């Protein structure tokens, strides 16, 4: 691009680009003209705190100098097809296995999150000889046909009627559970008993894998109750089912540990990853498989592949990204600053519109309600995506944006997931903006018609 002509970019965008998950007439995107660390500036030179790391992938922040430098060396390694061994592909696979749970052995590279999940499903079917795949409601696994069938929320409706053999089960969502459990252990027992029954009803010998985000992300950062994931692992072991964790959003430090599964006491059979592996500087995803799964393919053909599997540029950027996590202690930093975020979020419980806050590391959601006692959601299930453009959640996210706090919402939850490089001071500044927006939202929008609330 010669010189930046913002008006031309916007006109071409309007004329020629189809935007995801949107009515095209409602799309009016800004252009980012400058970005650094946790900040970016739009075409009116307005500065924003990027509080969702774009789409929860920019863990190392915008314009990281080491990655910009790495791009200068792109091309030094010849571009080659997946059949070749390359320095960057081999090194990145080794680096990923080094930080993955101890049972993990090999990596299959894909291009992004959804196709990684598609490949994981195929690998599970090949390795078990079974065909059914269990996944959960209120999950998002991507927009391809396979990942769309895995997803348990309204974005999957366009791939329905779905593929045979894709079975959904309930996710523990304690804030909205109608049963008032005595404690987390009681909730865990309830959900595991139900899952076990469902496995029996479906015929365990037909189930290849249970597929789950260990902590569902875009559906509101749903932290599992104590012992739940370990219990799912036990059920999988009982019936010879593979357990696959989708770490596309949670992987690479988001939760204050390298992977979300590291918070718990179990090891999955496979993990999928994308976003944080390159922080979006170049597209990349993949499937990490255990020693046991890897061994199966020693003597069986891995009947899957992609033109760009292990793409030279992306794996080179991936290597540099993994070095940054280590050299800058970003995972430990995320855990520390995550504590500050946690205390700021807990304080929000005092607001009349805040139903629940959920957080782990630098991964959080604030769930808004119209009424705290009835928990009436701000937006009903499945009503995002075009239908709510003028609705209350859009108004709240608009207020945040006006104040320079950039993020997005899903149903009634606002996602807070800043780049892991955020400082304590920046975090406090951004949360001050969040509170300003909440105050305005309650006073001028949500409770505006309830004459002086005092």
Ligand X SMILES: Cc1ncc(COP(=O)(O)O)c(C=O)c1O
Q: Could you say whether residue 361 binds ligand X (CB under 6 A)?
A: no
Q: Which of 124, 243, 249, 341 binds ligand X (CB under 6 A)?
A: 249
The secondary structure of residue 102, as a DSSP letter, is T
Alpha helices in 111-182 (DSSP H): 113-128, 145-150
Question: According to the binding rule CB under 6 A, does residue 142 interact with ligand X?
Answer: yes
Other CB atoms closer than 10 Å to residue 173's CB: what's the count? 18
Quick one: which of 62, 141, 311, 333 contacts ligand X (CB under 6 A)?
141
Smallest CA-to-CA distance from 405 within 422, 391, 387, 380 is with: 422
Q: Rounded to the nearest whole angstrom, what is the least distance from the CB of residue 100 to ligand X in the complex?
A: 17
Contact criterion met (CB below 8 Å) for 421 and 330: yes
- Choosing from 37, 61, 112, 231, the residue that interacts with ligand X (CB under 6 A) is 112
The answer to the question of residue 264 lying near ligand X (CB under 6 A) is: no
- Asked if 213 is part of the footprint of ligand X (rule: CB under 6 A), the reply reads yes
Q: Which two tokens stand for residue 26?
A: 């409602």
Q: Does position 259 bind ligand X by CB under 6 A? A: no
Q: Does 411 bind ligand X (CB under 6 A)?
A: no
CA 146 and chain centroid, separation: 17
Please choose, out of 113-121, 236-244, 300-308, 374-382, the segment that lies near ligand X by the rule CB under 6 A: 113-121
Cα 381 versus chain centre, distance: 19
Q: What CA–CA distances, in Å, run from 134 to 117, 130, 202, 208?
A: 13, 12, 10, 8
- Taking CB atoms, the residue at the shortest distance from ligand X is 113
248 near ligand X, rule: CB under 6 A: yes
274 binds ligand X (CB under 6 A): yes
**Closest CB to ligand X among residues 114, 324:** 114
Bridge-based pairing of strands 132-136 and 207-212 is parallel
Q: Which residues of 95-117 are buried (b: 16+ CB within 10 A; e: fewer)?
A: bbeebbbeebbbbbbbbbbbbbb
* Least Cβ distance, residue 56 to ligand X (angstroms): 7
Contact status: 217 vs ligand X (CB under 6 A): yes
Is residue 149 at the binding interface for ligand X, with CB under 6 A as the rule?
A: no
Residues in the chain: 454
Indicate whether 136 belongs to the interface with ligand X (CB under 6 A). Answer: no
Binding site for ligand X (CB under 6 A): 55, 112-114, 117, 140-142, 213, 217-218, 246, 248-249, 274
């Amino acid at each position: 691009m010669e010189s930046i002509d913002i008006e031309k970019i916007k006109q071409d965008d309007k004329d020629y680009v189809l935007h995801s998950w949107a009515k095209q007439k409602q799309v009016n995107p800004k252009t980012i003209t400058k970005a650094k660390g946790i900040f970016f500036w739009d075409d009116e030179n307005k500065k924003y705190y990027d509080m969702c790391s774009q789409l929860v992938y920019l863990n190392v922040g915008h314009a990281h100098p080491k990655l910009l430098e790495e791009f200068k060396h792109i091309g030094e390694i010849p571009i080659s097809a997946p059949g070749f061994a390359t320095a960057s592909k081999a090194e990145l696979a080794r680096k990923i296995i080094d930080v993955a749970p101890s049972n993990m052995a090999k990596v299959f590279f894909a291009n992004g999150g959804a196709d990684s999940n598609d490949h994981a499903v195929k690998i599970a079917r090949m390795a078990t000889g079974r065909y059914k795949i269990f996944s959960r409601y209120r999950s998002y696994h991507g927009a391809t046909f396979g990942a769309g069938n895995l997803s348990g929320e309204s974005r999957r409706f366009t791939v329905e009627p779905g593929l045979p053999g894709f079975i959904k089960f309930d996710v523990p969502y304690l804030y909205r559970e109608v049963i008032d459990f005595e404690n987390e252990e009681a909730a865990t027992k309830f959900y595991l008993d139900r899952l076990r029954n469902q496995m029996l009803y479906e015929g365990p010998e037909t189930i290849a894998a249970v597929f789950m985000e260990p902590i569902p992300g875009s559906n509101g950062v749903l932290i599992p109750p104590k012992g739940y994931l370990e219990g799912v692992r036990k059920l999988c072991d009982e019936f010879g089912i593979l357990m696959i964790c989708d770490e596309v959003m949670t992987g690479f430090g988001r939760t204050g540990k390298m992977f979300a599964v590291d918070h718990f006491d179990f090891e999955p059979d496979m993990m999928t990853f994308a976003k944080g592996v390159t922080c979006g500087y170049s597209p990349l995803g993949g499937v990490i498989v255990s020693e046991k799964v890897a061994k199966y393919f020693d003597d069986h053909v891995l009947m899957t592949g992609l033109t760009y599997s292990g793409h030279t540029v992306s794996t080179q950027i991936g290597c540099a990204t993994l070095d940054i996590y280590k050299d800058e202690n970003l995972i430990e930093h995320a855990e520390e600053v995550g504590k500050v975020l946690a205390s700021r979020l807990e304080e929000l419980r005092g607001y009349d519109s805040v139903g629940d806050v959920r957080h782990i590391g630098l991964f959080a959601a604030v769930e808004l309600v119209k009424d705290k006692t009835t928990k009436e959601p701000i937006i009903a299930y499945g009503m995002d995506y075009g239908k709510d453009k003028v609705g209350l959640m859009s108004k709240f996210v608009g207020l945040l944006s006006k104040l320079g706090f950039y993020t997005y919402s899903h149903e009634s939850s606002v996602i807070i997931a800043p780049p892991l490089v955020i400082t304590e001071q920046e975090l406090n500044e951004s949360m001050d903006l969040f509170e300003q927006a909440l105050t305005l939202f309650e006073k001028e929008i949500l409770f505006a018609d309830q004459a002086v609330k005092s």
